[in-house]
Chain A
Amino acid sequence: MIPSLPRPLWLRAATIFFVLGFLVLLFMPLVTVAVFAFNDAPYPAPPWQGFTLDWFTGNEAHGRTGLFSDEELLGSILISMLVATWVTVLSVTIGTTNAFLMERMSFRGQGVLALLMLVPLVIPGVILGISILAFASRVADLLGNLMGWEAEFLRPGLPLVVLGQVSYIIAISTLTISARLKRFDRTLEEAACNLGASRLAVLGTIVLPYLRPALIGSAAIAFLMSFENFNTTLMLVGADSPLTVMMYGRMRDGATPVLNAVSVFLMVASAAIALALMRGDRRDAQRS
């Protein structure tokens, strides 16, 4: 079972075989997507027709719309980034205030609140989406009837998408930031205070720098989660589709390999963020 105990040869072989098979399974869909981004054929399907960059650089004149001239797709990437930026800012900010609230304050009902903060993580995304959709509409109707004010941002659209995604991403950033704040050695604060720092200076020079890795990490996670969110977003979109919704629509209708091209970009970008985060984590672990 473990290296220090005798393991029969067949078991070792089986283990290696299993792990290799697992890795193949893991990467097969991704590799497939990437390979067919460069296939010189109108649909992402075998056989291999030769290498082409048409699905990146092609334009109307070629008869093939590549990623760089697909206005609709590029527009949806921009929309996703806009949404993700808002979600990141909101989640990290509220995640930080929540972390301080739960770790540094004590008040009645704190336990209930702590439990409540975990609830969004076990609500299916679709339900988060519809509940916010319905509630926002009711509030908008109410505002319209009572004050004659048409609260457009409460109707399906990007502001609602941001709210929907934020509703559970805050829970994740709260957990990440709280976990780090919990490990903070409070004598460091006393030491800073003892050396003449005011409360604000302690926060700015000691506590926030200490939290920095968690802030960066949760920002990256929030951005990615928002960018990749589908379930909640689908229920709340209006006229402007973020990338995942746009891709979904095209996938149902059968799309050209331009989707593979955009996927290659997503893969490269997410892998880069993931690697950067893991490296950061390791360095952080070595330091402390």
Chain B
Amino acid sequence: MAKATASASQRLILWLLLAPALLWLFGLILLPHLDLALLSLRERTGPGEYAFGLAQYRTFFTEPLYWDVFVRTATISLIATALTLLLAFPIAWTIAKLTRGRLSTLLFAVCLIPFWVSETVRTLGWMILLRETGVIPGLLVTLGITEVPIEMLYRDPTILVGLVYTSLLFMVVPLYGSLESLDDSLIEAAYDLGGNGWTVLRTVVIPHASPGITAGCIVVFMLTLGNYLTASLLGGKNSLWFTEQIYTQFITRFNWEQGAAFGFLLLLLSSVMVWTGLRLSGQRFSDVMSRT
């Protein structure tokens, strides 16, 4: 009798805890995405009339602009991810291994603080720095490197700078975490056994840091791919970033079916990349995510 009521109250608690979780996951994640999928597969056959069809996806493949922007977005995101890794690794290494105690904590904090500030503010900074009337073109003229101020905005390298800058935090933190847990004596042992800097990096450090590297790359790639602010402000008004295409379809043209299809393609690309990253490094999704 006592046992029966105990398990009944246990069940009640379980359901009370389960309710918000299910409401969240179904109401805000699963059902909306299911709906998005259905929406993307809907063809407008006449005013107010719809049928099931692949018209939106056909448009994507037949209209070179969409396809080009898609490939461009993916390529730049990949390059940005690689650059972020190259830039963040030495910094994470310095914080984790070359500095000790207070200096290390301070350096870590200093590296993190800019990222607590809104991306909007940071992008505003880059705009002031890079635009034709901005700080850096002016500086270049003063130094005599260029004769007239050059417009540095709306160029691919500029977008890359902005994207890498925005993503650094998400690379430094997981890298730092995985490098910090690497025991110094392992590196010493590898040296002692005849390794040199390069082989030790390749055979000891990178395998150990691999979960952190994977986590960082996945998150950075995902964020870059889905970036809107930096891409549209530093990249100009001609909508050459895929999220801008989605926005245009959804909000400007009110063509939700097409926007939904684009959204799904982006989601697909990001999922494929996440999956490939996990496969390549032999990591598990839940392990990787818990590091970020």
Chain A in direct contact with chain B (Cβ < 8 angstroms): yes
Query: A244: nearest residue on chain B (CB-CB)?
Result: B120
Q: Contact flags (1/0) for A73-98 with B, using CB distance below 8 Å?
A: 00000000000000000000110011
Known: A94-B24, A267-B121. A124 touches B188 (CB 8 A): no
Q: Does A5 contact B (CB under 8 A)?
A: yes
Chain B residues with CB under 8 A of A61: none
Q: Contact flags (1/0) for B222-265 with A, using CB distance below 8 Å?
A: 11011111001100010000010011001100001001100100
A5 near B191 with CB under 8 A, answer yes
Number of residues from B at the complex interface, CB < 8 A: 93
**Choice from B30, B122, B134, B233 contacting A248 with Cβ under 8 Å:** B233
Nearest-CB distance from B117 to chain A (Å)?
A: 5
Known: A5-B191, A22-B91, A251-B124. A126 touches B263 (CB 8 A): yes
Q: Contact flags (1/0) for B100-120 with A, using CB distance below 8 Å?
A: 100001010111111011111
Question: How many angstroms between the C-alpha atoms of A46 and B165 in the bound complex?
Answer: 23
Q: Contact flags (1/0) for A269-284 with B, using CB distance below 8 Å?
A: 0110111001000100
Q: Contact flags (1/0) for B56-97 with A, using CB distance below 8 Å?
A: 000000000000000000000000000000010011001001
Question: How many angstroms between the C-alpha atoms of A25 and B90 in the bound complex?
Answer: 15
A134 near B121 with CB under 8 A, answer no
Chain A residues with CB under 8 A of B109: 274-275, 278
B134 near A45 with CB under 8 A, answer yes
Known: A45-B134, A46-B134. A231 touches B250 (CB 8 A): no
Known: A131-B33, A227-B118. A122 touches B274 (CB 8 A): yes
A1 near B200 with CB under 8 A, answer yes
**Choice from A3, A33, A247 contacting B128 with Cβ under 8 Å:** A33
Chain A residues with CB under 8 A of B187: 1-2, 5
Which 4 A/B pairs are nearest by Cβ-Cβ distance? A124-B226, A29-B125, A131-B32, A135-B32
Give A residues with C-beta under 8 Å from B. Answer: 1-5, 15, 18-19, 22-23, 25-33, 36, 43-47, 93-94, 97-98, 100-101, 105, 107, 113-128, 130-136, 138, 163-164, 166-167, 170, 175, 179, 224, 227-228, 230-231, 234-235, 243-244, 247-248, 251-252, 259-260, 263, 266-267, 270-271, 273-275, 278, 282
